A and B are shown apart, each in its own frame.
Chain A
Amino acid sequence: RKEVEQDPGPFNVPEGATVAFNCTYSNSASQSFFWYRQDCRKEPKLLMSVYSSGNEDGRFTAQLNRASQYISLLIRDSKLSDSATYLCVVTVDNYGQNFVFGPGTRLSVLP
């Protein structure tokens, strides 16, 4: 089993739609969780950290379920500019710096 797994996608949604991505991880000792965004042929960039209580940043909401080892990202009112690959990230070492990236889920928001 891979350490971090994500919905394979791609997700093709119309502008204004709500879309949800799921991510599961295998290491129960993982401490920190993130969602990164990667545009085509660009570097990954942090979208948001994921906190135990769940957190929201504008149209984006992240949830963590430690018991099920499950992370989610919800995007409301999708924009064309949201089209990208979304990478789930889990840390797996005591230093909290060994990032394990999921394979990513590609999102295309259509006009």
Chain B
Amino acid sequence: DAGVIQSPRHEVTEMGQEVTLRCKPISGHDYLFWYRQTMMRGLELLIYFNNNVPIDDSGMPEDRFSAKMPNASFSTLKIQPSEPRDSAVYFCASSLRQGVSYEQYFGPGTRLTVT
């Protein structure tokens, strides 16, 4: 079975440009998460969805960041305009809650560099 799919795997862009990261969760999973990982701040949850509805976006750093989930098999994270401090690895993860135990499955990540 395919795992979580993210694209692109690497993105290099100039400051001020719009960046769109894409994610396809594991089929049948009802939760989708966006994380950001940097050396300084570690792995941080940005936002998560349940059944395509945003549940908690308190981790989104500022209005330049937005996330959508138009259907159960696709989500985007958009940064507009991008800044050098946005350089990080962005992970998408999905999970299926079963009882009180669950596992978040991570995609391979998108390594974003903003120059």
How many B residues touch A, CB cutoff 8 Å?
22
Q: Are A103 and B56 in contact (CB under 8 A)?
A: no
* Residues of B with C-beta under 8 A to A32: 100-101
Q: Smallest CB–CB gap between A42 and chain B, Å?
A: 7
Q: Are A43 and B43 in contact (CB under 8 A)?
A: no
Number of CB contacts from chain A to chain B under 8 A: 47
Q: Are B106 and A98 in contact (CB under 8 A)?
A: no
Q: Are B55 and A44 in contact (CB under 8 A)?
A: no
Interface members, chain B 36-86 (any A CB < 8 Å): 42-45, 48, 50, 55-56
Q: Are A98 and B45 in contact (CB under 8 A)?
A: yes
* Interface-lining segment among A13-21, A58-66, A89-97: A89-97
* Residues of A with C-beta under 8 A to B45: 98-100
* Residues of B with C-beta under 8 A to A93: 56
17 additional contacts (CB under 8 A) given A43-B91, A101-B42: A31-B100, A32-B100, A43-B106, A43-B109, A44-B91, A87-B43, A96-B100, A96-B102, A97-B31, A97-B50, A97-B95, A98-B48, A98-B56, A99-B33, A99-B45, A100-B45, A102-B42
Closest 3 CB pairs of A and B: A43-B106, A101-B43, A46-B103
CB<8 Å pairs between A and B, sample of 6: A32-B101, A43-B108, A44-B91, A97-B56, A97-B102, A98-B48
